[in-house]
Structure 1
């Protein structure tokens, strides 16, 4: 990738050194060249950047004041970066075309393997949306819910109503298969192998395990049970090559236990679809708002089509241990289960359907987190006890 051109990242001790080295060597001149070509040669120069868990986001500033973002997967952190980038591009385009959900416009993308890609890395160029990250409205340490102000409660209700509308809208974007969304050369969208970008532990080993599976276990899937079964097989295939696994036999047993449990989490009426566009990381940094708490952007979609019951859960901001009313489940529950749906074509237009699915969301969400492998040893005992009424492996 050449000599370091991005000195801003060299003094960030809280960032993984490999990520710092990667960002330091990005060919920022080439990103600016590509961006400028998209705007008839308008002068462009690099701005600030942010290093996240899976991607680098680099600002590209034009001479007319417009700012674009280059989203670049970290090769040692991101599971199948090329596939995830293609799916993210497809999701953003599809949502932009078929809904009013505010998502960034995609201007350009290229894979590292493309011989015409002079940046020497996979990336996409997209719009920088207005607004800032949602604030959790966390109170002082000695506050409790009786101290929440009427203004805070009004703001929270406004945000929860908008999140409800977004989830309802996503449930109107339906497909007949579970997998990752892609766009072909003619602009048509299709569902392909299920690549979950939220796989965080040893992505290279996880990729090898994924590719070792028979094609039918990589997707796309026609039923929820097929997805769950394939996820268990992927977990088992990953165990022997996971550098951190010590109790390998116990971990394989964990996935076999999850495989047996999948019928308990199955909801018959949604087993065969339709399936919906998905966002499993709706938390503060992925929800942009203006100063009046109008949602101005939703970012970082996983790029997947998933079961309806996977979408209809408490958004991730309710799992982040935030205090205060913004992350209060009771407040969200009241809005989510009573709000009138303006989008009557949605699978979640019915308040009764939303209530039924949210009432059973905790076990389902815990089970699906267990399937990812990263959280299995923590979450499996909880879901096992909830379903079977006894400790897992006799644990207390």
Structure 2
């Protein structure tokens, strides 16, 4: 049984219907001719659209051959109905790709043109690297259906795994080098110049809107950036609360289930507000129950003024390689922003390719298998670090301690609404607040920790339970008024 909480199945069905309609529109001959004409106008040369199209989860790419030339480019457009913030996402992705190309040694496709066209909408015209082979193909169990989720091949040899992990480790190290003074998304402020001037667009935000019908109005405004890691942890905690409040269908199974989800979110947010999440699992952690038994040795990163690139969707499938598994380019820089350095100090979630909350044999089995592969990853990381220049950010020691302390789980849960509840109660709660008595049913865990809430937080719990129980009587999708949605969220956030 997977550890993933259900998203709103009505919203998911609606998303599937919109996806099917979008696929028809994307492939229409008239659409393809329009893209071909657009590319010719932008490039100023005769071009021809070639097949097949490349269709991803959030984008469609039209391969274009420049006639009288061997050169190929890709016209990259947000997929209709799947990218919730298409214009914002595209402009941030173009700026991020250009920044990475300029300031790191990680190869990325060149962005020739980007912007918002009156006919086409938001677009990028990028270099076609011509490889369609992601690093994951060398790592995964062979798949009959390309739509199946890739899973690390359990029979892969240790030497081959370390070789491939080392290639990925070099990519990770390159991304970790640039630093930023604020948390947020990159904006091109003038040709070739980039600044953090926009809100982070996260994969979780996209999924909240698309698969849980959470209103966009509760997200940070478009030009919001953050000066401390603690501020961003509070925003992530607010989003966890918003998922519980606004997902109308399939979010709670019973009154006690609702209480347990509410208590976990309020406690997580309280720790964020107190500045404790950013210190958890570091030498400065003087508050958590687990730090009383074994204090970590490595210091927390600077809480302000030294942030690093974080990409929610960076993983082996997005690292294109040649037939010798050498990197030709890393792609898909959507959902990438300057985030807390804490995130890059964790070992990657993608070592097994599949996420813990969707692992067929359950999250505990994922954890066991991951721990075994983590040893290989850390060895690969140490190998890659030998090539770094003196003074570079080295990650292996931090990653080792992150897994040992549970900091890995804190950051993973903060970024994933539908993994949050299982991870909070299984891997975080006792590390935060000490051991619980054994054999408490999951839906009754709230009773053990409710006393840690403030009087106001406890008083708001039963009204929310009644709201969610009433909502469960009628399956529907609600279109929220922006102001009303913000008021509802604020009424459950106690500052």
> Do Structure 1 and Structure 2 share a fold, with TM-score over 0.5?
yes
Counterpart residue number, 2:207: 201
Q: TM-score, normalised by structure 2?
A: 0.65
SS across alignment from 2:23: helix
1:79-94 mapped onto 2 (5 Å cutoff): 79-94=84-99
Counterpart residue number, 2:326: 294
Q: Structure 1: 5+ residue runs without aligned partners?
A: 1-14
Aligned-pair distance for 1:136?
4.1
In 2: Cα distance, 1:245 partner to 1:314 partner? 32
Q: Structure 2: 5+ residue runs without aligned partners?
A: 1-14, 143-152, 253-257, 283-299, 360-365, 443-495
Aligned-pair distance for 1:102?
0.9
Determine if contact 1:277/1:304 at 8 Å carries over to the other structure: yes
Deviates more, 1:385-394 or 1:29-38: 385-394
Determine if contact 1:103/1:298 at 8 Å carries over to the other structure: yes
Aligned-pair distance for 1:42?
2.0
Aligned-pair distance for 1:129?
1.7
Counterpart residue number, 2:134: 133
1:61-80 mapped onto 2 (5 Å cutoff): 61-63=65-67, 64-80=69-85
Counterpart residue number, 1:11: none
Determine if contact 2:45/2:66 at 8 Å carries over to the other structure: no
Determine if contact 2:54/2:60 at 8 Å carries over to the other structure: yes
1:256-271 mapped onto 2 (5 Å cutoff): 256-262=266-272, 263-266=276-279, 267=282, 268-271=300-303
Aligned-pair distance for 1:316?
3.6
Determine if contact 1:178/1:304 at 8 Å carries over to the other structure: yes
Deviations for 1:166-207, whole angstroms, at most 9, x for unmatched residues?
222222211011111111244421112122134353425889
1:1-396 mapped onto 2 (5 Å cutoff): 16-26=16-26, 27-63=31-67, 64-111=69-116, 116-119=117-120, 121-131=121-131, 132-134=133-135, 135-138=137-140, 152-191=157-196, 192-203=198-209, 209=215, 211-212=217-218, 219-247=224-252, 250-262=260-272, 263-266=276-279, 267=282, 268-301=300-333, 302-321=335-354, 328-338=373-383, 339-348=385-394, 354-361=396-403, 363-371=406-414, 372-385=416-429, 387=431, 388-390=433-435, 394-395=440-441
Determine if contact 1:273/1:307 at 8 Å carries over to the other structure: no
Aligned-pair distance for 1:272?
2.0
Determine if contact 1:43/1:62 at 8 Å carries over to the other structure: yes
Judged with a 3 Å threshold, the aligned counterparts in structure 2 of structure 1 residues 380 and 299 are, in CA distance, closer, same or farther, namely same
Instruction: Give the structure, 1 or 2, with the largest relative contact order (CA under 8 Å, sep 6 or more).
Output: 2
Q: Which has the larger radius of gyration?
A: 2
Determine if contact 2:185/2:337 at 8 Å carries over to the other structure: yes
Aligned-pair distance for 1:281?
3.0
Deviates more, 1:243-252 or 1:167-176: 243-252
